[in-house]
Chains A and B, each alone.
Chain A
């Protein structure tokens, strides 16, 4: 008997001593940063997707672009291109490339040469040329399709090993900005040709090779992405040995991991958690004004949403002030247009539909729906910078709509499925949004509401309006900023008249990090960058 009790006492003691030890700090040699993200990327090639989740997970880590956007003033900075020149007629853009850029050397690819103009040509020919061996791989090029980029390129010419020219059919004032987006990442032509020889071309988009600060090591879907440093990164030496993206869709779990230091950097904190996070001495909260908008888009191809009166009625029925308070904890601006107020083309005198139940009822009567109707509101299952809680927003709107006799049902799916179904235009209406990739206003209008975007599936309102498209074309052909602004003001008025979507809010972007981590940059126009990040022990 004594022996039994002694054994129990010892085992209990053992348990307590083990539980009492502190967790060991991470080994310095394998120092890295764990970035906890809210979702899995859909692809490892930025050309093939537009979602912020994908871009945050891949673009700035693996790739570089010809030029970058200066985050402080929206101008352009040299990147892989040392310099560029635009012909006087605005039709030829020529770039001079750097000659000291190495591609990633990995288990699956050993580059034999540095960056060459052929790589740039390959990257864009893939999008442009329907006969290109890689063109049909993937589900299209959503960003480039949505702005109709391909239609305006006459030719891409390599004039020397480090020189490349883009010949346009019509002048396009937004052309440079499209090359500076995260989507215009430069791929390796040499790697692509090797894959064709091995008959495994699909690896190009799953086992990526780029020139960025980190190279791909492994990926487990919905769990983690592991990157290791690119030792010969052309810009500067990379401090981190590895960068791990820990995929944690659940908000509360992400927060818990931050508090236990399992995550060093966390995206998309809940806005109502910010006061708690700010009060911690071991954490820092970075705020970034961000070019984004959240909106409620109506599928204008479906009845009754093909009736402009119905769309206006629904817009009058929604109390957007309540949404700002309840969903954004007042950490966002009420949308006065599709464009955020810090855009140079923002229309200050725009009047958005007021919250007016009587007006909404009257419009519904005029539209021929005096007793309302049934509809679906699709709410995103994930948090995005522009919308931290689409579910809650949908519930508020649902309550608002019941006041005018419209019975709404809230629909949601897992994120990738949700996006697929949206692309097939299966929805009645959807709560979603957009984060801009460039400072150019065109980047809001064209991917969201143009006819090309309706065809490529990124136009959530499925709205194709000739007058609106004509205004966009006029604006992009125009080089004079004052005249461009005039066209953009008109297009904003057109949106409010036709109401294919109701802009709701412009949110700020927050990033929470462990104070030991520094050098993490969030670009207002794109993904998060760890190139200069470091962690002090």
Chain B
């Protein structure tokens, strides 16, 4: 049963990848400029080499053959060269991804640790002021434009009070060799005398971007947990449990929470794509050197191979994470397998 389900999911996934790669493949033709440059990343090449290069990229063959060759190159890890640095795009992107993931992970952590308890609290106390206050805050946080919030926080904490830095992951005076790409881990494994100071500095750099990035998912979590909990509390089995004589907190923990959190786990996966999108905005505002600001710079520089690779990489990541949480959700919730 489960194997059958997994098989069906993976089958669907392959179609999604087919559509995505066909799209990025066609970008090479849709972008302005020479498709050979867009595929290879070579903007300037000797005219003698042109025929050989065209043969190497299969540009003289029909589109289907070209597409197959494109897929072969993708699988071999040959994603073309960046126009701006002349370096292979894929390793460049992979080296920047940890910065984005690190930021997104902390924001997700904050949104879970704050959002779920606050959501539960506002559901349990939905009649009195505390529940209303939390819901109102959630609505404000949900509707505030993120870049505006970021600028307000920068104005207050950085420019006026001077407490927090405005950009980057670490003061540039600290030299931490990049090993994993995750700043806190890199500092912990680095052999430097200023480890504690660097760690503290990295933490200060993290505060504002994490707070800004966490705002939207936190408020979504609050609203979602609240709604889910409220609907669970309406169920007959809750009433039965109360009627059996269980205390209010026993009912909440044993029967309410578990059932209410099931849809929330699924929500975490769905949040991932909006988290990555928002992370790109956050990166640009805080000059966070991650994949998002890299991709936006690439757009500004008309760096077509980089745009292509970035689009494919990020969308694959989002699809895979979504699929993964979907599967996790199904494993946890047998009801979902039927649909």
Q: Which residue numbers of A lie inside 8 Å of B, CB to CB?
A: 1, 4-5, 7-8, 11, 18-24, 26-27, 29-32, 34, 217-218, 221-224, 226, 242, 244, 246, 248, 253, 256-257, 259-262, 413-414, 416-417
Contacts and interface: CB of A to CB of B under 8 A. Distances in A.
Contacts of B287: 248, 253
Contact of B114 (A11, A20, A24, A26): A11
A253 B84 contact: no
A298 to B, nearest CB: 26
A4 B159 contact: no
Nearest to B124: A1
23 contacts: A1-B249, A4-B120, A5-B121, A8-B117, A8-B121, A18-B207, A19-B163, A22-B163, A23-B201, A23-B204, A30-B173, A222-B297, A226-B175, A246-B172, A248-B287, A256-B158, A256-B166, A259-B162, A260-B162, A260-B164, A260-B165, A414-B300, A414-B302
Contacts of B203: 18
B173 A244 contact: yes
Contacts of A222: 297
A21 B200 CA distance: 11
Contacts, number: 95
A417 B200 CA distance: 39
Contacts of A221: 85
A30 B195 CA distance: 12
A96 B124 CA distance: 88
A262 B120 CA distance: 41
Contact of B165 (A5, A11, A23): A23
B121 A32 contact: no
Interface in B206-224: 207
B interface bracket (residues with beta carbon within 8 Å of A): 35 or more
Contacts of B174: 30
A5 B128 CA distance: 15
Given A30-B194, A221-B85, A244-B173, A23 B121 contact: no
A248 B166 CA distance: 12
Contacts of A29: 193-194
Contacts of B118: 8
B55 interface: no
B26 interface: no
Given A19-B157, A256-B154, 14 more contacts: A1-B249, A19-B163, A20-B163, A22-B163, A23-B164, A32-B173, A34-B172, A226-B175, A244-B172, A244-B173, A246-B172, A253-B166, A256-B159, A262-B167
Contacts of A8: 114, 117-118, 121
A257 B301 contact: no
B151 to A, nearest CB: 10
B279 to A, nearest CB: 18
Contacts of A23: 163-165, 201, 204
A261 B162 contact: yes
A218 B172 CA distance: 12
B165 A262 contact: yes
Contacts of B120: 4
A26 B289 contact: no
Contact of B289 (A20, A34, A223): A223
Interface in B84-135: 84-85, 113-114, 117-118, 120-121, 124
Contacts of A27: 194, 197
B333 interface: no
Contacts of A244: 172-173
Please indicate which of the listed interface residues A11, A27, A223, A259 has the most CB atoms of chain B within 10 Å of its own CB.
A27
Contact of B301 (A26, A34, A223, A414): A414
Contacts of B154: 256
Contacts of B175: 217-218, 226
B265 interface: no
A7 B171 contact: no
Contacts of A20: 163
A134 to B, nearest CB: 20
A218 B168 CA distance: 17
A33 B210 CA distance: 28
Please indicate which of the listed interface residues A7, A24, A218 has the most CB atoms of chain B within 10 Å of its own CB.
A24
